[in-house]
Amino acid sequence: MHPFNRISILRIAFLFWGMQVISGISQNQASSISLARLKYQGGGDWYSSKTALKNLALFCNQNLKTSLKTQESIVEVGSDELFQFPFVFMTGHGNVVFTDDEAANLRTYLLSGGFLHICDNYGMDVFVRREMKKVFPELDFKPVPFSHPVYHQKYDFNSGVPKIHEHEGKPAEGLGLFWKGKLICFYDYESDLGNGWEDPELYNDPEYKRKLALQMGANLISFALLGQ
C-alpha cells in the first residue's frame, strides 16, 4: 500500500475508534480499546508507574463515560502492533534508545493520527530529546500554549500542565511536537503526571493533586481520541 494511503486509512480508523469510545457507540467494540505503554531499548525503566494507566482508564470510564480496558497493553516502538492504539504512553527514569527502524515506525504512527504522551518520571529529558530528534529531525519540543485545546477538554487548565511531583524545583512544563500545526506528541516535564495517576497509597499525594493529574490525563485521552 502506498504510504500516504496507509496514513489516511489509519487517521480515519483512529478517529472512528475515538468517537466510539467517547460517545459509547458500539460498546463491545469500543471496550476492546486499551491504553498502551511504549517499550523501548536503552536500559531505562519503561515499565515504571505500573498502576498509572489502569487508574487513568478507570477515571476516564467514570468521568468521560468511556469504555476503555483497564488492563494496559505493552507495545514495542518498532512493532506493527503500535498502529492498533490511538494513545501510547512513554515513561521512565533513564536511557532511551530508538533504532533507525524504530524511529521511522514511530514517525509513521504519529503522522498516521496516533498520539504519544511522554512523561518524564525523572531523568529522561536528555534522552527523550535526543531520540525524538531521530523521529522528527525537523521538529523541536515547543511549549504548548495555555489556550491549546488539550488544556480545555472536559477540564480546564488555564495555567497549563499541573505540578504533581518535585524533581529539581523547576516549574512544570507541557511541551509538544507539532506537525503542520497539530499536536502529535505531548511531553510533561517536571510534572510527573504518571506518578499522579498511580494508586494513592504509593506516594501519599494530596488528593487534590492526584485529581489534577487524572483530570489532565483525561484531557490527553479525550484529545488523542477525538483529535481536537
pLDDT beyond 60 at 13: no
Is 3-226 CATH 3.40.50.800?
no
Q: How far is residue 130 from each of residues 10, 32, 133, 176, measured CA to CA in Å?
A: 27, 34, 5, 15
pLDDT of 143 reads: 98
* Sequence ranges of the domains in the chain: 3-226
Sorting pLDDT into bands at 50, 70 and 90, what band is 228? low
Each residue's pLDDT tens digit, 84-135: 999 999 999 999 999 999 999 999 999 999 999 999 988 899 999 999 999 9
Q: Which three cell numbers, joined as nine digits, stand for 51?
A: 498502576
pLDDT of 32 reads: 65
* Strand ranges, E, within 121-181: 142-143, 173-179
Rounded mean pLDDT, 32-58: 94
Q: How far is residue 88 from each of residues 1, 75, 204, 224, measured CA to CA in Å?
A: 24, 9, 26, 9
Strands 115-120 and 182-189: parallel
